[in-house]
């Protein structure tokens, strides 16, 4: 099972994907299922639910703005 970390732009989603992979967290750019709920571009990174908290920490440490999260 995966969750999507919703970011502010497709560019940030791509950067987050590369960043997460560089620290050993499997991630992929994903379209959010409910774009109107979060605003922004409607993209984020999908990560395994078991690595979700780790991924949030890595992205937050990189000073990327997180708009929210969604189920895949």
This prediction's pTM: 0.90
User: Architecture of 2-71 per CATH?
Assistant: 2-Layer Sandwich (3.30)
Tell me the per-residue pLDDT of 1-15, one tens digit each, with 9 for 90 and over: 999 999 999 999 999
**DSSP codes, 49-60:** GGGHHHHHHHHH
Tell me the per-residue pLDDT of 41-63, one tens digit each, with 9 for 90 and over: 689 999 999 999 999 999 999 99
Report the C-alpha gap between 21 and 35 in whole angstroms: 25
State the number of CA atoms in the 13 A half-sphere of 68 facing the CB.
13
Phi-psi region of 25 (alpha: psi -120 to 50; beta: other; left: phi over 0): beta
- The structure tokens listed for 62 are 């990189």
pLDDT at 36 over 60: no
pLDDT at 64 over 70: yes
Backbone angles phi, psi at 25, to 5 degrees: -105, 120
Extents of the domains making up the chain: 2-71
Give the pLDDT confidence score for residue 19 in this predicted structure.
98
Give the pLDDT confidence score for residue 18 in this predicted structure.
98
């Amino acid at each position: 099972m995966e969750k999507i970390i919703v970011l502010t732009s497709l560019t940030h989603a791509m950067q987050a994907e590369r960043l997460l992979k560089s620290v050993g967290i499997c991630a992929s750019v994903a379209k959010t299922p409910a774009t109107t709920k979060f605003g922004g571009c409607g993209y984020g990174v999908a990560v395994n639910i078991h690595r979700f908290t780790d991924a949030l920490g890595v992205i937050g440490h990189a000073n990327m703005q997180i708009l929210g999260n969604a189920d895949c």
